Amino acid sequence: MNQPFNWETLWDLLDKSGTIIGLITFIFSVLIWIKVRQQQKKLKKLVFELSPVKDYTAFYEEFKKTKTTYPAALCISLLVGTDSIKKPVKDFLDANNLKVNILEEIKMNGIHDKEDIEKYINMLREMRKGPLSESTEVRLFIAGPVQAGTLAGAVFDNWIPILLYHKGPIGYEYWGPLLKN
């Protein structure tokens, strides 16, 4: 004969399985916490073990001339009332036989507030994932505050070789590659 379904047995089974699942979740969480803790310790240790840059001259010279297959140049003009720096940069590149496949420019009439900073960072990101996405190196020319260069370095973050240029009293001069370590 058919025996009636025993609801009490079902609820007892669900209660025990819930307890087992809870214990497994707890153990899994503890293991993850231990792993994250170990990684934090390793990262802290690495920060204090970074060795000083050695032979910067070799890095400097290595990137001075175009070495890659699809180089680009990015002009960033952030000074109030300043015209585009794209033409002087192109003239500099031509005069120094520095071939670039792409020459892009970000131009803003100054950076005045946090909305301008946000707009600038978004323009850098769009440049990185848009016109410069296929580039194999970027020659970076900035007319603007030092902090704008710092933000550009943070956005580009050793994505590909980023080569810095400065406009001095006699024109643009190469300052070297952006190095992370």
Q: pLDDT tens for residues 125-180? A: 999 999 999 998 999 998 888 888 889 888 888 788 888 888 878 888 888 888 76
Residues 85 and 168 placed together within one structural domain of the fold: yes
Residues 36 and 64 placed together within one structural domain of the fold: no
Q: pLDDT tens for residues 58-93? A: 777 877 776 788 999 999 999 888 788 899 999 999
Pick from 102, 74, 89: nearest CA to 162: 74
Return the structure tokens found at 126. Answer: 């769009």
Residues 23 and 104 placed together within one structural domain of the fold: no
pLDDT of 177 reads 84
Residues 43 and 83 placed together within one structural domain of the fold: no
Q: pLDDT tens for residues 124-140? A: 999 999 999 999 899 99
Residues 17 and 84 placed together within one structural domain of the fold: no
User: Cα–Cα distance between 149 and 162 in angstroms, integer?
Assistant: 12
User: Cα–Cα distance between 95 and 58 in angstroms, integer?
Assistant: 23
Supply the CATH number for residue 66's domain: 3.40.50
Range of the domain at 3: 1-50
Binned at pLDDT 50, 70 and 90, residue 12 comes out as confident
Residues 61 and 130 placed together within one structural domain of the fold: yes
